[in-house]
Amino acid sequence: MSTATLHDRLDETKNGLTDLAPAELLDVFAAEQVRLEATTDRTTTVQVGDFVPDVTLPDATGNPVSLADLVVDGPAVLVFYRGAWCPYCNVALKAYQDEVLPTLDALGVPLAAISPQGPDGSLTIAEKNALSFPVLTDAGSALARQLGLVFALTDEVQTAQRAFGNDFEAINAGGEWELPMPTVLVVDAERKVTFADVHPDYTTRTEPDQILAAVRAATTA
């Protein structure tokens, strides 16, 4: 297991992109990251004490998964991410598989990852990173929208994403040019949020030790 923190690995990923992509496109994404961090109203995003609605979402093989069934014994960890095309999401979910899931399994705490991409994309990221937890499709970002996590891509960002080959009309199950802000929630058996960490700057993510600390706090509450 790497001794580097998730933050370190995400920084390495960001730095590595400078060798793979035109500077003008990376500048568009960098400006987007700054804008989202500066303009997101955190009072409108999901908060500790809120309740996550009970929805049924398809997993990577199309099988329905009910959040109520997932969290029936509480607590549970819900990870909102952007999609298989996002390098930062791949790094984060792989870290959660390797560094979070073993402890969660020992505690009997489920973890599920949720994105707006269709099941094919979910299967891609699950296979690429050998994920053994459910990877679910939130079509149209319906659940993420109820939690205040959705943002629209500007015209400039849409053009830059198309230059990378990312057509969200095809990638996202709802065909929308919108994405969720990466977020980790810990919820109890009633789907009440006991921990919420929202990242408007999608190049940053919740550290594995933060998740485990939040789960331990929930299991001893």
Give, for all 221 residues of the chain, the pLDDT tens digit. 457 899 999 999 999 988 888 899 999 999 999 999 999 999 999 999 999 999 999 999 999 999 999 998 889 999 999 999 999 999 999 999 999 999 999 999 999 999 999 999 999 999 999 999 999 999 999 999 999 999 999 999 999 999 999 999 999 999 999 999 999 999 999 999 999 999 999 999 999 999 999 999 998 86
Residue 136 domain flag: yes
CA–CA dist 138, 150 (Å, integer): 12
pLDDT of 73: 85
CB atoms within 10 A of CB 50: 17
* H-helix or E-strand spanning residue 170: helix 168-171
DSSP state of 69: H
Q: What backbone phi and psi angles, to 5 degrees, belong to 113? A: -110, 140
| Given the residues 67, 77, 78, 89, the one annotated as active site | 89
pLDDT of 72: 86
The torsion of the CA quartet 123, 127, 176, 46, rounded to 10 degrees, works out to: 100
pLDDT of 20: 81
89 is catalytic: yes
pLDDT of 155: 97
Provide the β-strand partners of residue 112: 78
* Locus of tokens 């509450």: 221
Residue 41 domain flag: yes
CA–CA dist 97, 208 (Å, integer): 10
HSE at residue 53, side-chain half, CA atoms within 13 A, is 11
CATH number reported for the structural domain that contains residue 180 in this entry: 3.40.30.10
What is the pTM for the complete model shown?
Answer: 0.96
pLDDT of 53: 96
Distances (CA, A) of 208 to 60, 70, 161, 205: 23, 21, 29, 9
Q: Letter for the amino acid at 145?
A: R
Domain coverage including residue 100: 6-220
Residue 1 domain flag: no
Residue 125 domain flag: yes
Number of domains in the chain: 1
Q: Which tokens hold the place of 50?
A: 């809120």
Q: Considering only CA atoms, which of 199, 195, 221, 220 is closest in space to residue 210?
A: 195
